[in-house]
Structure 1
Amino acid sequence: PHSKEQAEHTLQTVKNLLKKTEANGRDVYLALLVYRNIPVGTVNLSPAQMLMSRRLKNRLPLSDALLEPQVQDQKQLHHQLKACQDQQKYYLQLRRKPGVVKSVGDAPRFYNITTSDGRQFRRNPRHLRTVAENPASHPNGECEENMNCNTNESETTNTICNQTVGSRRKVNMPERYRD
């Protein structure tokens, strides 16, 4: 559901850039050119370098060698991106703390969480990670009301019926494929 965040953030940045240039009476196209030449992200490449493998000519003096196309090594870029993602994951794991959902919050889609050190937080479910708990870990062996205790005794059926796609949309199998 949040896969478009980076595109929306870029769009918001460009809109703010356009508002500021029009408010100051500057050239909009020159501002967009400068934005395309600024390196972004962890790979230290500008959008123009990623798209055209070269820098764009602007008002700043550049040598002709910098304006020549230089194809980037995709494997090296992939390794840089992977190293950055691993570092972000490491620092995220340092901050992550286990907690227990105590109650549903007063606002929609919010939960009140209590951590092991007694601190209380109010969080949206998308920021929570659920951990499957083994029913055998409970002392009395019974499931609580809000837990789904699924055992390994699952029923297998050979009927091909409606499948649920990621968007919770029902997909009906055509008659000719229901053999």
Structure 2
Amino acid sequence: MNKSQDPNIAILQYRNIPITGLKYSPAQLLFNRRLRDNIPTLKINLKPAIPAKARQEFQSRQQKQKVFFDRHAKPCKQDFKKGDKVRVQLKDKWIEGRIHDKHQTRSYWINTDSDQAMYRRNTRFIRHNKSPPAAPAQGNSDSYNPVHSDNDKINPNNHLNKDTLTQSKHSGGFPSHDLLQSHSSASTQKADTQTCRDSPPIQHSHYKTKCGRSIRPPPKLTL
């Protein structure tokens, strides 16, 4: 074919060559005879003949190929049912979808969620969708988020003031000695807490490395 200027001669030779694993050529399967080419041959070979055993030879060829292929292949363990959530590979992306129906032993019809299109894919390109469901939106109106006003803030002194006023009414307008003492202790505790919050944190003189080991400076002679 490299030397010939007519490509039809190469196509003619290709049609007269027997198929691998069969005794018949594409021309014999289509025209029931061989085609005449520029290679010398006998007239008996150009007579029509029906390839009766072509289908049997083709099936036996496929069976041999299956035997050699199954030696290193693994059985298909993935089984999908109608309505299962899956991920299907389309070109370079994995798209979510659902199993619509089973086409053959290893292929299924899949309805994608993005474009609602129907695709037929082999189990090699199908995976179970194990992703968790999407979380609800943050701005949902059904969610209850209580908002407290400034008056609803908890103040431990409010209950004390109410009790003081109640006791003062029964004691002739003056609070009792026990209530005054408890009120003063609560005020002192609140002041101590505020002082602890306002005081700066204590800084240690030793430095520490990234690993947490403290670095102690060497002692120096001071005269």
Q: Which has the higher strand share?
A: 2
TM normalised by structure 1 equals 0.42
Structure with higher Rg: it is 2
TM normalised by structure 2 equals 0.34
Q: Which has the higher helix share?
A: 1
